[in-house]
A and B are shown apart, each in its own frame.
Chain A
Amino acid sequence: MVVSTEGTGKRARPDSRLPVVIVDDLHVEYKVYATGKRATEADRGGLLRRAKRTRTVHALKGVSFTAYENDSIGVIGSNGSGKSTLMRAITGLTPSSSGAVYAVSRPSMLGVGAALIKTLSGQRNVILGGLAMGLSKREVEERYDEIVDFAGIRPFIDLPMRTYSSGMTARLKFAIATVRKHEILIVDEALAVGDRKFRKRSEQRIREIRDNAGTVFLVSHSMQSIRDTCNRVIWIEKGELMMDGDPDEVISAYEATR
C-alpha cells in the first residue's frame, strides 16, 4: 500500500542525525460495541452478552517509520484514518496489539486540557496544568508570568476558566503545555483554534522546540500550518502508511485523492 517508493525508513537521512522515535510494524486494535459505545463505559449491563456484541476495530495496520532529531513531522489523513491513534500509541497512552514504539525519552502530547478545572480561575489552572505536565512547584512559579503572557490572558487571569472564550482557553492550554522543554512533542490539532496572531506565535514556538534538538509531530488538517512548520510529512489512510517524505510531494499526492 505504500505509494511512495522513497518512503518508509530508507527516507533521506542526509547527515548523521540520530533516530529518536522508531515505530516498528505497529498494530492497534480496539474492541468496540456494535452500537459504537466503548466497551468500558460504566453503564453497560449484561456481563454475559458482552462477547457477542463487541466488534474489533483495526485502527493501525502495521505502521513503520523512524523519526530523527530536529525532525518536524506533519501527520495528515482524512478523519478516522488513525492519526490520533498513532500519536497516542507513540506516547504510550494506547498500548499496541503487536509491534512496538521505541523512543529516547517518553514523548509527550500537548493535551493538558483534561487536567484543568473549568470552574477555577486561570491562575489556579496555570499552576495545576504546569504540575500536571510534570513541572515542580518552584518551576511553575518561575515560569508563571511567561505562561500568562504567552497565552495573552493577563487581564482575565482571576476569572474562572469557564468564562473564557474557546480561543482563550486553547491559547492557555497551548501555553501551559509547551512551557516544559520537550524532547519529543506531539501537537494534535491545537493550532486550528486561536486567531492569526496566536497561530503565528505558536508555530514559532514549535519551530523553537524543533531547533532545540527536539522532534515535533504535528497533526493537522491545515496544510498551510504543515507547510509552514514541517520538514517531512506522513500520510496515514485507513490505518496504513500511504506516504512519507517531502511536505510538498506528500501534500499534493494527498490532495489529489480528495
Chain B
Amino acid sequence: MSSEVDDPQAYGLHRVGGRPPLLKYLRGVAQRRDFIVSLAKFRIEAENQRHRLGMLWIVLKPILEAAVFGLVFGTLMRSTRGVPDFIVFLIIGVFVFEFFSSSFGAGSKAITNNQALVQSLSFPRMSLPISVVTQKFMQLVPTIVLLMVFLLALGHKASLNWFLMVPLLILYYMFCLGLAFITARLTVHLPDLSNLLPFASRFLFYTSGIFFSVDVRFADTPLLLKYVEYQPLYAFLSLARELLLDSDPLYDVRTQFWPILVCWSIGLLIVGTIFFWAAEERYGRVD
C-alpha cells in the first residue's frame, strides 16, 4: 500500500476485476438470462435477414444437406448395406448431428469472436458460449419438428416414445454446452485450435454412423463396436433413431445408452463450467 492513497478497506472498497466464487458467478450468469436468450434470438434473426426466404433457411439447410448426403452415400457409394429405411436413417443422423457440429464450431469461437464485446462490457463471460449454443439449439428444434412431420408423411406412426425426445434433446444441449465451455477457453489460450477443431468435428461425423450402420459395418471388429458403444454422439444418434422409429428390429431401444448419456452430459457440463470459470479473468486480456 503506497502511503499517498487512502486505505481501501477502511471505506468498504473492493478490488476490481477479481473472479467471484463459483456459486456467485453462476447466479450472475442466471441474472443475465434475458440477455443470453435475446442475443441468441437476434443473431438468428440477423443471420437470416438478408435472405429472401428468411427464417425458412433454418429448415431448408438441413434438408439440402440430407439430399446431398443421400445422393452421395445412398446412390453413388451404396453404403445403404443392411439399413432398412436408409433415407430416414440418414436424415435423422444428419439433422441431429448438425446441432453438434454447428455448436461445436461456433462455441469454440464464442470468446475469440467477441473480443470487442468482452473488452468493453463487464458481464459473466459464460453468457457468450451459452448464448451461442442456445442459438444453435433454437435452430435445432424446428428441424426436429420438421423431421417428425416428414416421418408421418412417409407413413411412420407417431408413438409415445416421441416424447422421450424432449429429455434426449435436453441432455444433448447440456453435452454441447459443456463442450463449448471447454473449447471456448482452450481457443483463447491457443487460437490455433480454431483451425484444428473442424477436423475433429469432421472425424466424428464420419465415425458416428450417420450414413452407415455401425452394427453392420463394424460387425466383425469388436473393438470398434466397443468404441462406438461409449461414444456419446453415436449414442445420441442411435437413441434418436430408436425413439423416432420403433417399427424395425434394427432400431430396438437400447436402454443402456441412457445412463451413458446422462453421465456424459452432466459430467461434461460440470467439468466445462468449472474449467471455463477458472479462467474468467483471462478472457478480457489483450495479450
Contacts and interface: CB of A to CB of B under 8 A. Distances in A.
B122 A40 contact: no
B247 to A, nearest CB: 45
Contacts of A40: 112, 188, 191, 285-287
Interface in A189-242: none
Contacts of B18: 92
A interface: dominant SS: mixed
Nearest to B114: A114
A190 B129 CA distance: 29
Given A64-B2, A101-B17, A114 B117 contact: yes
A42 B14 CA distance: 34
A82 to B, nearest CB: 13
A120 B11 contact: no
Given A92-B122, A94-B286, A107 B6 contact: no
Given A30-B286, A95-B285, A109-B120, A136 B5 contact: no
Interface stretch (A72-80, A125-133, A151-159, A246-254): A125-133
Contacts of A18: 11
B5 A9 contact: yes
Contact of A66 (B6, B16, B38, B117): B6
A117 interface: yes
Contact of A9 (B6, B31, B112): B6
A38 B286 contact: yes
Interface residues of B, number: 45
A52 interface: no
A137 B45 contact: no
Contact of B8 (A9, A29, A32, A102): A102
Given A24-B2, A40-B191, A93-B119, A30 B112 contact: no
Interface in B95-153: 112, 114, 116-123
A91 B116 CA distance: 15
Contacts of B85: none
Query: Which of under 10, 10 to 19, 20 to 34, or 35 or more describes the interface residues of A?
Result: 35 or more
B220 interface: no
A109 B16 CA distance: 13
B192 interface: yes
B14 A93 contact: no
A119 interface: yes
B5 to A, nearest CB: 5
B191 A22 contact: no
A39 B6 contact: no
Chain B CB count within 10 A is highest, among A10, A24, A93, A115, for A93
B2 A47 contact: no
A95 B17 contact: yes
A20 B6 CA distance: 10
Interface of B: 1-2, 4-6, 8, 11-18, 31-32, 34-35, 38-39, 42-43, 45-46, 49-50, 112, 114, 116-123, 188, 191-192, 194, 281, 284-287
